[in-house]
């Protein structure tokens, strides 16, 4: 039997299950299929082109304006990473909206990522919500449902379904497609109550709201498709507890042969992943803000996983 494929991963923009009101609007997760010698040579070349005294090479080093040429070399068709790295991008706001839309399904079942049947409702709410409800009410809705659907609420903040539905009650009076989605959410209150009760009873009944979970699943699926099971080597993350790893292995049905957490200083493959994740996250955030870097997004397009969690029909950088 052949050995499982080993894929090295790192992220940028991680804030756990906090999806709104954080430091970054985008979560990026890079997966690298590359042997350690090749990765070491790649990092060594980066150090020549974009020097830093730091012992661990990271995205911030190559994102400095003075190192623009090194960044373009890295991502370009003649660079060392094309075809060896994939980046899964998550628009955090669209992710929470998609999770809410998923609760509208009569047969809502636990899944990693978003329910594809709910995509149309999610896109409608994401695009129309700020205008239909006003920025203040829209922000309050996102924040309340983020806390409602997450397994662990930080800073002692708790919210009940009744609290969240005070907002839904107000928002369902709005006209247009966004108002229709809110009225459907109002009718789905029993389903939301059931979800919250099961989540409080056992946080591992449902996959975590943390976008890291679907990103790892996407890396396993995309690299392992047709090649067999995948072992993930990941930079250390507190989210990746033994219980969560076991849960992912069960849901992925044997496609993930294992997951090891290591220090990224010890493996240049993880440093390559950090660089690509950080570069893609910043470019995607600028895209959402309406300040796209056209040269950079054009180079990044071949790296982006088309299954990324994004409202656009053709994904990020389309």
Q: Two tokens at 276?
A: 């690509």
pLDDT tens digits for range 89-132: 999 999 999 999 999 988 766 678 899 999 999 999 999 999 99
Domain C-terminal end among 180, 201, 222? 201
Q: Which domain holds residue 67?
A: 5-89+209-303
Q: Give the C-alpha separation, 120 to 101, whole Å.
A: 9
56 lies in the same domain as 111? no
167 lies in the same domain as 213? no
**Total structural domains within the chain:** 2
Does the residue 252 lie in any domain?
yes
3-class DSSP state for residue 304?
strand
Domain C-terminal end among 174, 201, 228? 201
Per the prediction, the chain carries an average pLDDT of 92
Does the residue 312 lie in any domain?
no
Does the residue 318 lie in any domain?
no
116 lies in the same domain as 180? yes
Domain C-terminal end among 201, 222, 255? 201
- By DSSP bridging, strand 26-32 and strand 5-12 are antiparallel
Q: Of 13-27, 39-53, 244-258, where does mean pLDDT reach its minimum?
A: 244-258
State how far Cα 34 lies from the chain centre. Answer: 22
pLDDT tens digits for range 170-222: 999 999 999 999 999 999 999 999 988 888 888 776 677 899 999 999 999 99
Q: Which of 258, 190, 256, 264 is nearest to 30 (CA)?
A: 264
Contact 17, 240 (CB under 8 A): no
Does the residue 162 lie in any domain?
yes
Does the residue 239 lie in any domain?
yes
190 lies in the same domain as 273? no
Does the residue 175 lie in any domain?
yes
Does the residue 315 lie in any domain?
no
Q: Give the C-alpha separation, 223 to 86, whole Å.
A: 9
3-class DSSP state for residue 63?
coil
- By DSSP bridging, strand 85-91 and strand 230-235 are unpaired
3-class DSSP state for residue 113?
coil
């Amino acid at each position: 039997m052949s050995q499982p494929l080993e894929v090295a991963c790192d992220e940028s923009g991680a804030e756990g299950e906090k999806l709104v009101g954080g430091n970054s609007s985008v979560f990026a997760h890079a997966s690298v299929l590359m042997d350690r010698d090749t990765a070491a040579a790649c990092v060594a070349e980066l150090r020549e082109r974009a020097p830093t005294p730091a012992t661990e090479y990271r995205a911030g080093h190559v994102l400095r304006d003075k190192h623009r040429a090194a960044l373009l070399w890295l991502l370009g068709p003649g660079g060392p990473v094309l075809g060896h790295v994939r980046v899964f991008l998550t628009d955090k706001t669209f992710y929470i909206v998609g999770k809410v839309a998923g609760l509208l399904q009569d047969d809502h079942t636990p899944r990693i990522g978003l329910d594809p049947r709910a995509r149309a409702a999610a896109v409608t709410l994401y695009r129309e919500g700020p205008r239909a409800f006003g920025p203040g009410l829209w922000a309050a809705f996102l924040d309340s449902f983020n806390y409602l659907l997450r397994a662990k609420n930080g800073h002692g903040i708790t919210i009940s379904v009744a609290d969240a539905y005070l907002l839904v009650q107000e928002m369902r009076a709005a006209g247009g497609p966004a108002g229709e989605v809110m009225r459907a959410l109002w009718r789905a209150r029993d389903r939301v109550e059931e979800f919250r009760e099961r989540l409080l009873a056992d946080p591992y009944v449902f996959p975590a709201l943390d976008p890291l979970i679907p990103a790892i699943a996407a890396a396993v699926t995309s690299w392992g498709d047709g090649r067999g099971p995948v072992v993930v080597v990941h930079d250390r993350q507190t989210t990746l507890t033994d219980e969560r790893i076991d849960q992912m292995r069960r849901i992925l049905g044997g496609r993930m042969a294992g997951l090891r957490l290591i220090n990224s200083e010890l493996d240049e493959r993880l440093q390559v992943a950090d660089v690509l994740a950080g570069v893609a996250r910043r470019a995607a955030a600028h895209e959402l803000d309406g300040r796209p870097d056209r040269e950079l997004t054009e180079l990044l397009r071949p790296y982006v996983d088309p299954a990324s969690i994004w409202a656009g029909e053709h994904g990020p950088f389309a």
